[in-house]
Structure 1
């Protein structure tokens, strides 16, 4: 009996120890689950934060991206840009500029920048003051061209449009940017229509471009007037010539005509010494 009774106590003690071990293991599992849930929540929070940060960065980059309006205080300095009227074109090493003109009137209808095997055709249009024009133009192109597709791109909603050139189907990429009373349409062809280095270069070129809308009243979709290129050196030369002509045409009020005698010369000298008049002939 004694042995039996001892055995029961021992069995009871062992059972209590097993229960305690089980409880300890259960607590450890609960702690482990809590830690995992906390880690997962932290990862989700971090991922959400990263997504929000990336979205904010994308929005910031897009808001500070051209093409620019000439009246925008943040627009790039155009002193070294090529002036073709409605557009101020940045310099791009290795590029060529071709202007499309009306054969009868000579009016410039568009400009094409060629860079390596790619090209970018530019056309600035007048737009309503309160509404953009690109949404409407894009809808018209989609309706008229069943093979045209709308995609998201660097400049917002873009179109991919296959065109037939010399019997071959070539892919083009059409972008539109709305500005104050203008819309600029750009048509990329060649490798720049798909991707790669040439696309990046011409995208950057378009983003640095400045549009000069002017005050001339124009109907929506009318081309904003362009002209033959004026280089930075030509602009500087014209400015210097204008200043020179202004200096030559400056007149002294009341200056006598013909040969001077001594009294007249004295009178002129006295007149030049009277404050404001001196600045007119300096």
Structure 2
């Protein structure tokens, strides 16, 4: 799916999402937002795409790819691609009163070290994030270093994890569209009980079917 500017007479691409979560903290000045922090008209706007737990707004020229499990058909992650940069989005359940990004961040850093890479904490637009440099093998068997930024945002009973890949991970100018897209994300946690760190359910947009190259 490629994002483009919509004409006024086109049908909306989003549908009404789940009810707002109770006992939400003070509304944030900037996103990503919890669904309880925005009006229903915002969720239903024509430029929004409802993917279940995440409602996103892409930029013109940005391509939406969904990583889908072949066996279960469940969407595992969202990938937004713009030129030679990408933004991967995943959302997880978290405790009601405490965030889990600090703990998760340490685990990601430890895993990068086990892979023979490095993980450096830095203060970014969304708070403390990680810059990872890890060895990756290409299809030809050549090993190269891949740099990525991992951003975590703690919300009311959820953690949104965003990974910035490609040129946007190393060049601020290329990162700007990805950061703007992340600010516009709305998380729909839902009221049902979930285990801490359980993935929030994602879904294909209405009428969409996974293509072979979108499957994980």
TM, length-normalised to structure 2: 0.74
The 2-side partners of 1:142 and 1:75 are apart by 38
Q: Is the contact between residue 148 and residue 160 of structure 1 (CA under 8 Å) also seen in structure 2? A: yes
Higher relative contact order (CA 8 A, sep 6+): 2
Alignment of 1:29-178 (within 5 A): 63-73=28-38, 77-78=42-43, 79-80=45-46, 81-146=48-113, 147-163=118-134, 164-166=136-138, 167-178=143-154
RMSD: 1.7
Contact 1:75 1:210 in 2 (8 A): no
Report how far residue 70 of structure 1 moved: 0.5
Larger fraction in strand = 2
Instruction: For 1:150 and 1:141, locate their aligned partners in 2 and report how far apart those are by CA, in whole Å.
Output: 11
In the aligned structure 1, how far is the partner of 2:119 from the partner of 2:33? 27
**Could you say which residue in structure 2 is the equivalent of 1:241?**
none
5+ residue gaps, structure 1, are 1-62, 232-282
Question: Any idea what the Cα deviations from partners look like across 1:88-107, whole Å, max 9, x if unmatched?
Answer: 01031000011111111101
Higher share in helix = 1
Question: Which structure has the larger Rg?
Answer: 1
Unaligned runs of 5+ in 2: 1-27, 208-216
What CA deviation, in whole Å up to 9, does each residue of 1:21-75 have, x standing for no partner? xxxxxxxxxxxxxxxxxxxxxxxxxxxxxxxxxxxxxxxxxx5111000001479
Would you say the 8 A contact 1:182–1:213 is kept in 2? yes
Q: How many residues align?
A: 169
Q: Distance in 2 between matches of 1:98 and 1:151?
A: 28
Change (3 A) 1:186 1:75: farther
**Could you state the TM-score of these two structures normalised by the residue count of structure 1?**
0.57
Q: Secondary structure at the match of 1:94?
A: coil
